[in-house]
Amino acid sequence: MIRTMTIEAMRARSELVTKTREFFLSRGYVETDTPLLAPWLIPESSLEAFATEFKHPFMEEMPLYLIPSPELWMKKIIADSRTNVFQLCKSFRNAESLGRLHNPEFTMLEYYTIGGDSSSSARLTEALFEALAPPDSPKEARPPFRRMTMAEAFHAYTGLDLDSLVQEEAMIEAARGLGLMVNSEAPWEEAFNIIFLSLVEPVLPMDRPLILDEYPAGIECLARDIPGRPYKERWELYVRGIEVANCFTEMVDGRAVADYFRSQAEKKAQALVPHAVDTRYPEIFGDFPPCSGVAIGFDRLFMVMMGMRDIGEAINFPFSGFFKDKAKTEA
Amino acid sequence: MVRGGEINLGTCLLINGAPHIVVDREFVSPGKGSAFARVKAKSLKTGNVITQTIKTADSVEDAQVDMVDCQYQYFDGENFMFMNNESYEQFGIPLEAHEDKRPYLKEGETYTLIMWEGEPIDIKIPYKMVFTVVESENYIKGDTVSGATKPVTTETGLVVRVPLFIKQGEKILVNTESNDYVERVND
């Protein structure tokens, strides 16, 4: 069994967990604890799940899935209780890369603020960083946050005017104009991601944490549209070039949520691990309060605050070690 | 064709019509996006390194290259002159795209060349190579702490930091990626 985390790191991580709980509890947030094993998931075409089965001598078998995030359950609690909530729990994502920044089983920190929006969540997250960062944490992981919109980043690093590239063909042409290879049938989102991942993300400023704000509306998600402009109230937080958090002003319009579900369920038909979808989910939004949610990869948060380079230093028994163990037990 | 998810270090891709060798690759999945391979590839013609991002499920054109063993003979002022070990055919590789290889080219040594459409486009340098020290300052024994090193120059002009006991005329094994000294080689 390959353990790469030191006892000192375990102690520091445990302190970070305690401080996180203190931060939210002192602000009146309720800590939730929801199932990790679920009979249905939110359809998200970008994620793959782990599937298993419930077995019982007298009952029918039931397919179950490990959650890729606790979002569905937390939103049900918000709809019922209209209370600010937070949760620290394991989440699971299949078919992602292994390596320096990924582990299929990871810890997620999610928090939702009633009446909040993506701007107030940015301030809350900055305060969280202020409260959590150990005194000797690297400067790149400490507030104040830098803020840049996606359109500003595109303009600065590619010279492109993102506002004018809402059409599929225009985005493909823009990518090709920059010497990037793009399939002529590529959807808008793919052409966007090819430019973003090749030329923008690798050169984002790293001197301080960066809120990359206003993601294009062309990337489907459960964030609210910015009226009159082709963007959403969504940001991602990059620390040292590593994607650490994602935030939405939550989409609360039941019809828009139902459309999102329909479109994602269609795309999900090509998933490696198909799963059941709770079709009642959009009903939650019949009377859902305006709110904003943030999801933080807690292992990565710990990593950047400690100045670690590899997620294996931040967690015990990283998945990559299982392959080495497997090779040894088979030998 | 090669799938994005199958691209590896050393894979040769045809990018905008020119052969490129993959020097770095990572799998990235942007938030709410699918999986991509972000690849750094070096043009085998100009030496420029570019970044391309390819969906792991998509296929891209790979460059069909051949590996041929050739002996390095001499530098003619503009070209590195090689001879094919099988056909004895002689040809030159222009200095400009491969200047970084110069300190690793030893006359009479065999190297693997990467050929594309009949043209040599890259020289593979072995991971470890033996060089002869041609220039070395003499240090007096006992006047420095253990683990101290000094710079020496090899017959190819490569500068390597070595332990103080290495003398001019001796042979050393060098890691060609880091230019680190590995060990002394006795004939």
ipTM at complex level: 0.85
Q: What are phi and psi of B10, to 5 degrees?
A: 90, -10
d(C-alpha A176, C-alpha A168), whole Å: 13
* CB contact (8 A) between residue B32 and residue A194: no
Cβ-nearest to B30 among A95, A179, A197: A197
Identify the closest residue of chain A to B31 by CA–CA distance: A246
Q: Which residues of B touch A (CB under 8 A)?
A: 15-16, 26-36, 38, 50-55, 58, 60
A236 vs B contacts (CB less than 8 Å): 31
* CB contact (8 A) between residue A97 and residue B28: yes
A183 vs B contacts (CB less than 8 Å): 55, 58
Bridge partners, residue A94, by sequence: A48
Residue A190, pLDDT > 80, answer: yes
d(C-alpha A126, C-alpha A122), whole Å: 6
Q: What are phi and psi of A92, to 5 degrees?
A: -135, 130
Q: What's the pLDDT at B39?
A: 96
Residue A62, pLDDT > 90, answer: yes
Pairing mode of beta strands B36-43, B59-60:
unpaired
List the Cα angle B121/B53/A99 in 5-degree steps.
Answer: 100
Spatial contact of A30 and A84, defined as CB atoms under 8 Å apart: yes
A–B CB contacts, 8 A cutoff, strictly below: 64
Pairing mode of beta strands A30-31, A85-92:
parallel
Q: What's the pLDDT at B35?
A: 87
Q: What's the pLDDT at B146?
A: 61
* CB contact (8 A) between residue B27 and residue A183: no
Q: What is the pTM for the complete model shown?
A: 0.84
Q: Can you say how many angstroms the Cα of residue A261 is from the centroid of all Cα atoms in its chain?
A: 18
Chosen from B7, B34, B59, B62 to mutate, greatest number of chain A CBs within 10 A = B34
What are the residue boundaries of the structural domains of chain A, listed by start? Answer: 7-145+208-322
d(C-alpha A268, C-alpha A283), whole Å: 20
In the CATH scheme, what is the code of domain A7-145+208-322?
3.30.930.10
Residue A1, pLDDT > 70, answer: no
Q: What's the pLDDT at B99?
A: 84
**Model confidence pLDDT, tens digit, residues A199-223:** 999 999 999 999 999 999 999 999 9
Interface membership of A183 toward B (CB under 8 Å): yes
| CA distance to partner chain B, nearest, from residue A266 (Å) | 15
The SS3 of residue B130 is strand
d(C-alpha A245, C-alpha A298), whole Å: 9
Spatial contact of A98 and A319, defined as CB atoms under 8 Å apart: yes
